[in-house]
Structure 1
C-alpha cells in the first residue's frame, strides 16, 4: 500500500497533478504532465509537498502543491482552471484532477484545528489532518448537490443563474442540507427555485465538481404541477424549452450537459418508437 507522502520511484512513470492557487498545471496541449521525473522539466520536488492520491490507468498519481505565482513550472506549461479538462478529456482524468484540487484545498484549509485552534499535523498513512492537542481528526469532505433535468412533454426546464455567462441556460441544482435525504432535496430545491412540483425522479449519474468541493448527483424527473415562478435571488430567468430548440447550454463533459443529452435521447426514442 502506497502511503500518501511516499515519493515515487525514479524509474516509475507517473501522473503529476501540480496545483497552484487552485489552478492545475497543464502542458501547452492542455494535458496533465506524465512520465518519469527525470524526463520532465520539473523543479526539485523535494522543496514541495507531494501527496500520492491514487492510480489512473495503472499509473500512480501525485499531487504537488506549489505556491501561488510559482514560476518554477513554466518550462512544463501554465496553471489553468480545472474546467479546461472538462472538454476533450475522459471522465476518469477529470475526476482525478478534481480529487487533486480538493485534497490541495483540504490541506490548505485544515492547518489549524477547528476544535481547539492548535496546529494540525498530516497523518502519514492516510489523507487526513490530526490535532495532537485534542485528538480531533479531519478528512477531506465533499458537499453533495443535486442537479436535475425536468421534463414536461417534449420540453425541459432551463434557467439562467446570476453567475452564469450571458445567454447560458442550465438545469436546476442545489445543495443537500444537513439531515436531508436526496429525494427531499430534489422536491425542495425545485420548488424553491422554480415553484413547480416534480414526480418520478430517476438517478442518472454523478460527477465530482471541485469548485470548491461539490459532488453533483444527477437526476431526471417529470413535471407534476405548477407554473414556473423563478426565485429572483438565485436565478435571472427560466422557462420550458423544446428539447430540439435549446438555447446555449453547459459545455460537453459537464453533468448538466449529460443530463440534457440523456433527456433528449429518451424523447427522441419515444418519438421514433
Structure 2
C-alpha cells in the first residue's frame, strides 16, 4: 500500500573492493556521532567529492568502500574530529537532510552512516579480542585469529495504523516534543513474528486487542540502525489504558481532526497520509 519510492538500487551498485583508477574522484560519506558531512551550495546540499579524504580537511578512520553511485566510487568513514577549515563543509543531522537530496542518495547516505558506525563498534572480535579486518566479499568484519564473522546490526521494528470504524488511534510518547502524536511502534523481540510484535506492543502500550493485521510497507531507518515495517490493524476489543512509561496519552481521531503528526521523513507520516486519503470525509 506504500506508494512506490525510488529504490536505493536505481543508481547505486554495491561493491566491497575498489576497482576504480587511482586518483579518481569519489563521494565521501563521512559521519560523526550520527551526523553526515555535506557541502552546502546555493542549490542545496551535496555529498563531498574528492580523490582522497585528506582533501576534505579532517582526520578519518575505518574507511570502507561501499560501491558506486551513478558510476562514481563511494566511501563511508568516521571522522575523528570536527571539520577544520574547508569552506562549505559542515556536519548535519542525517534526518535533517531528507528532502534536500535525491531520495535514493539519502538512502545510500543512511547505509553509509550505519556501516561507518558498525566499523567503529566492531573494531575488535567479540570472541577473542583480536582486531577485525574487512571481508572482501560482503559488508562484514572478520577475525583473523578465530574466524568469527560480524555483520552490521539491523533492528527490525513494527509500526501500526490501528483503525476503529473510520477513526485512527494516535498516541503521544513521553519523549515526543511539540505535543506530537504518532503510531504505536516497537522493536521485535526474539521468538516473535512481526504480527506477534504488533499484538504485543499494542496490548502493552495502550491495552487493546487488534485483529486483521496486514502489511503496509517498510522503510530503512538509520537512526541509528532500524528497519521499520508498517502494518494496518483493526480494533477488536478493550479500552485504552496507556502504560504511562512509553505512552502518556492516546485516543481515537477523525481524519479531519488530527493533532500534530510526524514529519514526512518517517513512514508514520506516509501511513497517516494514506489513512487521510482513504477516510477523508
Give the TM-score taking structure 2 as reference length: 0.84
Identify the residue that residue 157 of structure 2 maps to in structure 1: 145
8 Å Cα contact 2:50/2:56 also seen in 1? no
| Structure 2 residue 90 is the aligned partner of structure 1 residue 78 | yes
Compute the TM-score of the two structures, normalised by the length of structure 1: 0.87
Mapping of residues 47-126 of structure 1, within 5 Å: 48-71=61-84, 74-126=86-138
CA distance in 1, matches of 2:228, 2:175: 18
The 8 Å contact of residues 20 and 70 in structure 1, kept in 2 or not, is answered as: no
Matches of 1:153 and 1:67 in 2, distance apart? 53
Tell me by how many angstroms 1:111 deviates.
0.7
What RMSD in Å do the two structures reach over aligned CA positions? 2.7
Q: Post-superposition shift, 1:95? A: 1.4
Distance 2:49 2:224 in 1: 28
The 1:68–1:235 alpha-carbon spacing in structure 2 relative to 1, beyond 3 Å, is farther
Change (3 A) 1:156 1:13: farther
Q: In the alignment, what sits opposite 2:38?
A: 26
The 8 Å contact of residues 58 and 83 in structure 2, kept in 1 or not, is answered as no
Q: Secondary structure at the match of 1:177?
A: coil
Give 1:6 shift: 2.3
In 1, Cα distance between equivalents of 2:14 and 2:99: 31
| Uncovered stretches (5+) of structure 1, i.e. residues with no partner | none
Shift of 1:117: 2.1
Q: Structure 2: give runs of 5+ residues left out of the alignment.
A: 1-12
How many pairs align? Answer: 267
Give the match's secondary structure for 2:145. Answer: coil
2:143 alignment partner, one of 127, 131, 134: 131
Report the Cα distance in structure 2 between the residues aligned to 1:155 and 1:70, rounded to whole angstroms. Answer: 49
Give matches, 1:245-264, under 5 Å: 245-264=257-276
Q: Does the CA-based 8 Å contact 1:2-1:52 persist in structure 2?
A: no
SS at match of 1:28: strand
1:199 equivalent to 2:211? Answer: yes
Q: Is the 8 A contact 1:16 1:32 kept in 2?
A: no
Give the 3-state SS of the residue equivalent to 1:233 in structure 2.
coil
User: Quick one: which of 188, 205, 209 aligns to 2:200?
Assistant: 188
Q: 1:110: how far off?
A: 0.2
